[in-house]
Chains A and B, each alone.
Chain A
Amino acid sequence: MGSTSSTLLKIPNVEVLMQETGFSPAHIIRLHDRFKALDKKGRGHLCPQDFGAIKELAMNPIGDRIIGAFFSPGKETVDFHTFVKILAHFRPVDKNRPKEPNSPEPINSRSNKLRFAFQLYDQDKDGKISRDELLKVLRAMLGMQVTEEQLESIADRTIQEADLDRDDAISFEEFRKVSPEILHSRCFIKAPVIMLMERDC
């Protein structure tokens, strides 16, 4: 227990962080250990290369997009606070959280989760998934298995399904509307990663 509190003390503003993200002290310590392990040079922040060093992640078809999500535009590094905040998206939605009307929306709310997914598509951050952006994701995920022509028609169809205002792009509202099932799907809401972590702790 002594080591726990001493580790926590090393992290600045740990109280605020826990408040914002809803992680328990045990989580924070676990994540901090992981953060230090990734930060091989001990600089106190991570750069994209550190993420790239994770072997499995390099093989993930949309791995670079996920890495990109950790870095706010223009920044080359991510510190521990941001790291934890991003990961907090994957906490399960807590049912029993007391509802305070004035409190800001928690990071792990459904709409924030969806927004996280949305921004993986929307690389130019214009608030819309254009056909090109969708095509890039599709190409990454489907890989060599289908021809370019087929990819394009899949993209067209996907946009057609979601596109309500007929501007040939998917806005976040449209994205949210076509994903009601996703909102309920277990793999997203009850993100197993953090649940597993919680069980370990």
Chain B
Amino acid sequence: MASSVYLCLLRAVFLVCFVNPLIQGLSGDTNVIQNPHHQLEENLTGLPIVTFKWHHVQTPYLVIIWVFVAGLAKLSVVELNHHVTSVFPESGLLIIMGFILGGIVWGADRAQTFKLLPPTFFYYLLPQIILDASYFMPNKLFFSNLGAILIYAIFGTCWNAATVGLSLWGCYEAGAMGNLDIGLLQFLLFGSLIAAVDPVAVIAVFEEVHVNEVLFILVFGESLLNDGVTVVLYNVFDAFVALGGPRIDAAEIFKGIFSFVVVAFGGSFLGIGFAILLSLLTRCTKHIQIIEAGFVFVVGYLAYLTAEMLSLSAILSITFCGICCQKYVNANMDEKSVTTVRHAMKLLANGSETMIFLFLGVTAIDTEIWVWNTGFILLTLLFVFIYRIIGTFLFTWMLNKFRLVPIEVIDQVVMSYGGLRGAVAYGLAALLDEDKIPEKNLMISTTLIVVYFTVILQGITMKPLVQWLKVKRAAHSDLKLIEKLNNRAFDHILAAVEDICGRIGDNWWTRGWNRFEENYISWLLMKPKARKNRDYLFSIFHKLNLEDAINYVSEGERQGSLAFNRSDEAANVDFKKQFGSEFADVMPNIMVDMSTYELGIEHFSVTSTVKDTIPSVSLDIHGQDRKNAMDDINAHHLLQQHLYRSRKHHRHKYSRSHFSINQNEDEVQEIFQRTMRSRLESFKSAKMGVNPAKKITKHHKKELTHKHLTKHDLVFLVDSAVGSETGAINSTFMRDTYTVGAGIENPVFLPDMDSPSHSLPWLMETEAVAPSQRAQRRLPWTPNRLRRLAPMRISTCSTDSFLMADVSLTLEEHEEQSQTDHEEMCFFLSTFEVNRL
């Protein structure tokens, strides 16, 4: 704990030391920019080797420095003492960090050089946050609560704007604020900009609290949509203010309402249009997979800008673009692109969220904007708080008359308390025209105070409040197939019962929409291939299997199995997944075969395997992992002995459009040959009863290994398909077998037999070698590739004395052949049976 405090201190010192001179440097240099040509001419006495061209890079440089600083700020905030972060929401801490940074800038410049300007905010920081929120919106939840969300977003916002504006005006008329130059319209304008709950702030706080999903979607959906509404409302009132009080008549008011509707719905429909465009586009990006992820961002941003250009609601446009396209885009695009989009989206959104909060703090450190009016500020805070509560309860009361599941009182309290204001309000306040609104600075400072108050104070108290009220938290449950199956069944049951009762209810509409969606919309917007495999239940199943596979691999890595170290080769991973637990003891032998025979599928990455060949085997690993922990240790030793550790065998070839790994053919062959050679040697030494050739038995220890190996009898039948596959490799192999000892001596082949902990599985109980009942039963489920290599017979181990008696007749026949003819033996060995005797 103490160390983390020191760490933070250090970081703060670092920030001060590093950022301060930097900014001083920057501000000092701004003087130079005034007359850059001057300087250049002066210097042109000789050929300059290097020149200092600050003015060339000034703008991008400053931007990137701020991004960097924001990143550092986020880092230090997140890494801060856990006692602080558990109490303070991250957004609040970032604002405080912004105060500090702003203070530094102020100290250096005596003025606030860096501010959050509305265009920057609205064009570069906000869109990706909205896009992220809408793109990852839980659609089913959103649409099933759409009615409530719309009521809150539209009527709730109008209510807030009107009541706050009117109440402030009333108080002003009553003389609570002294002498201000504000009229009724300006108050309403201010009310409209302060009305909206901010999605950025809400997500930041509610994500940490984990309330139940209905509550979350209500607050979140509302905040997302009411941003759009508040901007529209703001524009309408802005126009009214510009028009001036006396010229507003009934017709103008009507036009205002009409324009409100047109702007809001027009923006939404525009967004849906862009969503369709995007979905259609991703249908045919199969061959440019590397950039298809970019389309999501480009089209999303285009939706935003187009709406802005047409003076429609840009926020609503990008919101609906994201919500509507997600399903089709995710189905159409390659899995890798989907991952890319997901990560890039989070990166952008999280980054700009950090920037926004930081700059909300930085902006505050400026004497120019601060105008204090106790009455105005405190009354605004009070009204914003009170009317949010009244509004929420009022609209919930109305909604509950229609909702099947009423919204509970506790949830209502949290909803009204979660009315956090944020950067959108500030952005709109900063957009105000000073000519028309003389008290602009008062409005900005009031907005800032409201933002700080809600984000920091309400943010801090939110968690204790939720705990104290015992709000139903999000039930964290493991994804279960049977549960999803039952839910699906219940949907059908309820629909059927509705039919029987002859009542058209919610289920009827949902089902009608689903059918329409399936038949027409999916047909239009989705790739035929994507349509096939998109059943919900199946995708759950798919996801579960993926999770298992990933768990399994990480489990293997944790246990340090050598096979997993080569996990970049999908063949091994694939194999381990299926067989690892059951055959841990006999596996290394199979493994070696696998790695030699199955090199053809090497270029599969894990994701592509997943996409193309959907695994049809489910794994039940948890129970078996424990059981097989011991076996795995054995496998580890075996692997160390037998797995040839090749040189680093994948080099990334640079390519803009491919990620393929360059596999060296020679190395593949070398691995194969070495493996086979070691087998051959052990085979010879055991069968011929003579000591292996001098070169091979350079080390005494190796002999020991062979002796142990002889006790193991494994027969593998390799079917003819593989045989022909390996035929080509074999020919080279046979040529090389006579140059025994050539090449590098791999220490892996000479294991240290003296180590006391070393216990080979075949030295242990014989039963350990045979697969468990369960494993045997499971065998037929394995994919084709593995079926080829299924062990046909795994005999019990024999001790040395029984060795000869145990050998089967067929084997002896083969042995005789092999003794007489090396070449034949090699061929037989590698193509049909691998015997260790």
**Interface of A with B (CB < 8 Å)?**
31, 34, 37-38, 51, 54, 56-57, 60-63, 66, 87, 90, 116-117, 120-121, 137-138, 141-142, 145-146, 149-150, 153-154, 156-158, 160-162, 170, 178-179, 181-182, 184-188, 190-197, 200
Most buried by A among B507, B535, B617: B535
Q: Which residue of B lies closest to A27 (CB)?
A: B501
Do B494 and A193 touch across chains, with their CB atoms under 8 A apart? yes
In the complex formed, the residue of B with least CB distance to A51 is: B500
A179 CA / B502 CA spacing, docked (Å): 29
Residue of A nearest to B490 (CB): A188
Q: Is the CB of A66 within 8 A of B497?
A: yes
Cross-chain contact of B492 among A61, A138, A193, A195 (Cβ < 8 A): A61
Q: A66-B497, A192-B506 are in contact. Are A141 and B483 (CB under 8 A)?
A: no
**CB <8 Å contact, B482 and A161:** yes
Whether the pair B483, A179 counts as a contact (CB closer than 8 A) is yes
Return the chain B residue nearest A182 by Cβ. B486
From residue A130, how far is it (CB to closest CB) to chain B in Å? 14
Interchain CA distance A170-B480 in the complex, whole Å = 15
Contacting pair A179 B486 (CB below 8 A): yes
Q: Please report the C-alpha to C-alpha distance between residue A61 and residue B475 in the assembled complex, in whole angstroms.
A: 30
Do B485 and A196 touch (CB < 8 A)?
Answer: no
Q: A146 and B493 in contact (CB under 8 A), knowing A37-B502, A192-B507?
A: no
Chain A residue contacts of B533, Cβ below 8 A: 145-146
* Interface pair A146/B535, CB less than 8 Å apart: yes
Within B465-504, which residues are at the interface with A (CB < 8 Å)?
475, 477, 480-483, 485-503
Contacts A38-B500, A158-B481 aside, 14 further interface pairs with beta carbons under 8 A come to A54-B500, A61-B492, A66-B500, A87-B501, A90-B494, A141-B492, A145-B533, A145-B534, A154-B481, A161-B482, A178-B483, A181-B475, A193-B507, A196-B404
CB distance from B515 to the nearest CB of A (A): 9
Contact A120 B493 (CB under 8 A): yes
Select one of B404, B489, B616 contacting A137, CB under 8 A.
B489
Residues of A within 8 A of B494 (CB): 90, 187, 191-193
Which of A66, A141, A156 touches B537 (beta carbons < 8 Å)? A141
With A161-B481, A188-B490, A193-B505 in contact, is A87–B537 under 8 Å at CB?
no
B489 touches A117 (CB 8 A): yes
Is B124 an interface position by the 8 A CB rule?
no
The reply to whether B491 and A157 form a contact with Cβ atoms under 8 Å apart is no
- Complex: how many Å from CA A166 to CA B501? 40
Determine whether B618 belongs to the interface, using a CB cutoff of 8 Å to chain A: yes
Residues of A within 8 A of B499 (CB): 54, 56-57, 60
Please tell me if the beta carbons of A157 and B489 are within 8 angstroms of each other in the complex.
no
Task: Establish whether residues A196 and B505, one from each chain, have CB atoms under 8 Å apart when the complex forms.
Answer: yes
A196 touches B481 (CB 8 A): no
A–B complex contacts, Cβ < 8 Å, 23 sampled: A37-B502, A57-B496, A60-B495, A63-B492, A66-B492, A66-B496, A90-B497, A117-B490, A120-B493, A137-B485, A138-B485, A141-B488, A145-B534, A153-B781, A154-B538, A160-B618, A161-B482, A170-B482, A178-B483, A182-B483, A184-B475, A186-B404, A192-B507
* B620 contacts chain A at the CB level, 8 A cutoff: yes
Q: A153 vs B544: C-alpha distance in the bound complex, in angstroms?
A: 12
Contact present for B503 and A154 (CB under 8 Å): no
| Chain B min CB distance to A38 (Å) | 8
Chain A residue with the shortest CB-CB distance to B507: A192
- A144 to B726 Cα, complex, angstroms: 39
Judge if B541 is at the interface, Cβ distance under 8 Å: yes
* Residues on B with beta carbons closer than 8 Å to the beta carbon of A57: 496, 499-500
Query: Are B532 and A60 closer than 8 Å at their CB atoms?
Result: no
A149 and B616 form a contact (CB under 8 A): yes
Q: How far is the CA of A66 from the CA of B541 in the complex (A)?
A: 25
Q: How far is the CA of A196 from the CA of B509 in the complex (A)?
A: 14
Q: How far is the CB of A186 from chain B (nearest CB, A)?
A: 5
A197–B506 CA distance with the chains assembled, in angstroms: 12
Residues A193 and B498 in contact, CB atoms below 8 Å apart? yes
Q: Is A192 a contact of B505 with CB atoms below 8 Å?
A: yes
User: B614 on the interface (CB 8 Å rule)?
Assistant: yes
As a 0/1 sequence over residues 595 to 623 of chain B, the CB contacts with chain A under 8 angstroms (1 = contact) are: 00000000000000000001011101000
Residues of B within 8 A of A150 (CB): 538, 541, 614, 616
A29 CB, nearest partner CB in chain B, Å:
13
Q: Please give, as numbers and ranges, the residues of chain B lying within 8 Å of A195 by CB-CB distance.
A: 404
In the bound assembly, the distance between CA atoms of A194 and B500 in angstroms comes to 11
**Does B50 touch A at the CB level, under 8 Å?**
no
Q: Are the CB atoms of B486 and A193 closer together than 8 Å? A: no
**Interface 1/0 per residue, B512-545 and A, CB below 8 Å:** 0000000000000000000011110110010011
Cα distance A194–B502 when bound, in Å?
11
Which are the 6 A-B pairs with shortest beta-carbon distances?
Answer: A157-B618, A66-B496, A145-B535, A56-B499, A153-B616, A196-B505
Name which of B477, B496, B532, B545 has the most chain A CB atoms within 10 A of its CB: B496
> CA of A62 to CA of B493 in the docked complex: distance in angstroms?
8
- Name the interface residues of B424-452: CB closer than 8 Å to any CB of A: none
Nearest-CB residue, chain A, relative to B477? A181
Residue B405 interfacial (CB < 8 Å) = yes
Determine the distance from Cα of A159 to Cα of B556 in the docked complex, in whole angstroms.
Answer: 26
Known: A60-B492, A63-B496, A153-B617. A145 touches B544 (CB 8 A): no
Q: CA–CA, A138 to B499, complex, Å?
A: 22
Closest to A184 in B: B475
A145 adjacent to B487 (CB under 8 Å) = no
For B534, list chain A residues within 8 Å (CB).
Answer: 145
